[in-house]
Amino acid sequence: MKPRSMLGASVEPIADGWRLRLPPGDAGGYRLAQLDDYRGLPRRRFPHRPPWRLRLRARASAAQLPGTWGFGLWNDPFGLSLGLGGTAGRLPALPHAAWFFFASPHNHLSLRDEQPGSGCLAGGYAARLPAALLAPGLLASPLLVWRPAARWLRRLAARAVAQDLHALPLDPSGWHAYEIEWTQAGLQFRVDSEVVLSSSLQPRPPLGLVLWVDNQYAAWRPDGSLSAGSLATPADCWVEISHLEIE
């Protein structure tokens, strides 16, 4: 696992794990503390395929942190790297993910009206279309400023990307045991040994493991409105991860 931090954030060792900490600060500056195991790799060499299981314990400094935090698998779809300076060349892609995701109310990260877009979530995404079709979508992106067009494009996006997101009635500021199991049949999520979601969703491997906290938000709401940015962070803003196990 490789640490990454931005704008004064830090990844600090604790007993059997790490504290991912954001410093206090005003809105407008992006702060990130992250651990991952895919840094510098092209997507085809990301480490994880089914059958796969993640177990860990986690808690946050408050029941609700500004921005997002979580842990699980994804294909880092929004990263852009041209392969300069020894980095892996990587273009944007459609998303594949399986994770526990915690998002403040400023966020709305669901493409489906009947599924939650913020809060304590378990689930993920699996693109139905090849990444090559992302280019025509980027050409249509100027239409997003017109709300009727943005609503139509959101409906198209919901067809292009399967998702299964489930709200969790828990207080993440207390220690909980989290588990993700990924098999050829789909995904199963457990909290404190209880199954909270069984899904047939099948993200496309290989994927990378990421643990993070940041102060960023993004929203594409059912009415077509869009917003994104970074939020102010309080003096005490952190996530602790311990007893990480991967099978």
* pLDDT at residue 138, as a whole number: 47
* pLDDT at residue 90, as a whole number: 61
Mean pLDDT of 98-105: 97
Mean pLDDT of 97-105: 97
The three-point CA angle 28-113-63 to 5° equals 50
Q: Is the peptide bond before 51 cis (omega within 30 degrees of 0)?
A: yes
118 in a structural domain: yes
Tell me the pLDDT tens digit for each residue of 161-218: 999 999 999 999 999 999 999 999 999 999 999 999 999 999 999 999 999 999 999 9
187 in a structural domain: yes
157 in a structural domain: no
153 in a structural domain: no
The CATH number of whichever domain residue 53 belongs to comes to 2.60.120.200
149 in a structural domain: no
Task: Give residue 131's pLDDT band: very low, low, confident or very high (50, 70, 90).
Answer: low
Tell me the pLDDT tens digit for each residue of 38-94: 998 999 999 999 999 999 999 999 999 999 999 999 999 876 443 333 344 467 788
172 in a structural domain: yes
8 in a structural domain: yes
Full residue range of the structural domain in which residue 12 is found: 2-128+162-220+229-246
Tell me the pLDDT tens digit for each residue of 111-126: 899 999 999 999 999 9
Q: What is the residue-averaged pLDDT of the chain?
A: 89
* pLDDT at residue 130, as a whole number: 63
E-state strands within the chain: 2-6, 10-14, 17-22, 32-36, 52-60, 68-74, 81-82, 89-90, 96-103, 119-127, 161-167, 176-183, 186-191, 194-199, 208-214, 216-220, 226-230, 237-246
Q: Is the peptide bond before 142 cis (omega within 30 degrees of 0)?
A: no
* pLDDT at residue 83, as a whole number: 34
77 in a structural domain: yes
- Specify the number of domains making up the chain: 1
- CA torsion, points 119, 165, 125, 72, in degrees to nearest 10? 60
